[in-house]
Amino acid sequence: MPMKRSNIALVSYASSDEDDESERIEKSTDIRPQPPAKKRKLPPVSTTIVAPDHIDDPAIHQGRIRSTPHVEGQFAAHVYVSLNLGRHSPMSRLYKVVQAVLRDAKEEIPALRDIWMAKNENAKTGEDVTGEEPKKELHISLSRPIFLRAHQREDLKRAVRNIAKGSKSFIASFATFSELVNDEKSRTFLTLEIGAGYHELRSLVNALTPALEAIRQQTYYEQPRFHASIAWALLERPEESPQMAPPVSPDNTPDPDSLANNIPSSTSTMLNPPGFSDLAEFPTISHIPPRLITNLNERYGAELSSSKVGTFNVDSIVLKIGKDVSEWSLGGK
């Protein structure tokens, strides 16, 4: 049977005559380069979209500046035991002792500043506002300052929750007043040191160590001195005073309200870069006089260490990440 030829061409080729004609047209055409298109400037990005650069001004933090620079996307964290105080709380007697100690200490060292962890926004200054009792707390650190990325927050929360679940509540008490200095030797602290309960607190710290190592954070001190700070003062830089601060054990911890804050001397010109306020208004001291610590222990030590004043129940641990605060009961679910 004869095959029919298809009328549909598979591929269409131009004839040689058409190629010649096309080449003649291209050669005769005067092709001039076109000027480049003008680039349009984009409008500036709104400040509501891009956050301004973070600047720490020590003048608005009583002269303190960060020893660890602020990093976008990084969260400061801290693990501690919280002790609630107040005039009408179960710890009201300790509250009164602390108030008396602060009064006496500040009479001799006016540069001392109170450390009160306010439980509400109206109690930050430690004063009654609109007749409301300031709700305050003391912190006993179980970690150094920790710096987390966003994806590490839940891992640390899970670890601390498991530690709380596997631990039992216990009795602790304060034993003495002491001076402790932060790692940077830039601030000195008036503290209440722990007596009973030391070994139980140490067990919580040891349980936390693997979790900190897993996220490459510095673990707690090998021989910690568990304490609650009640006041602090800026320390002079060594070159500013011939009288050096007394040697202090390296196991001291910074107060929990100033995560990794390094507080240099107010007279250092290096601490007044452009954009920073003048720090000369913030006084410094060389150290807390040993006689003051001795006098406080003689005057209030027996009362502090008594079972009715300085003894308390540790029944929970707290993890603060940025402004997020989580608390878990010991032995709880």
Q: How far, in Å, CA of 139 to CA of 79, rounded? A: 9
- Is the separation of the CB atoms in 248 and 181 below 8 Å? yes
Cα–Cα separations (whole angstroms), residue 237 to 64, 243, 278:
14, 10, 17
- Is the separation of the CB atoms in 209 and 175 below 8 Å? no
Q: How far, in Å, CA of 245 to CA of 238, rounded? A: 8
In 62-152, where does DSSP find H-type helix? 92-108
- Is the separation of the CB atoms in 244 and 238 below 8 Å? yes
b or e along 121-144 (b: 16 or more beta carbons within 10 Å of the residue's beta carbon)?
Answer: eebeeeeeeeeeebbbbbbbbbbb
| Residues marked as catalytic | 139, 227
Q: How far, in Å, CA of 61 to CA of 190, rounded? A: 19
Q: How far, in Å, CA of 325 to CA of 75, rounded? A: 12
Cα–Cα separations (whole angstroms), residue 290 to 177, 179, 208, 224:
11, 8, 34, 21
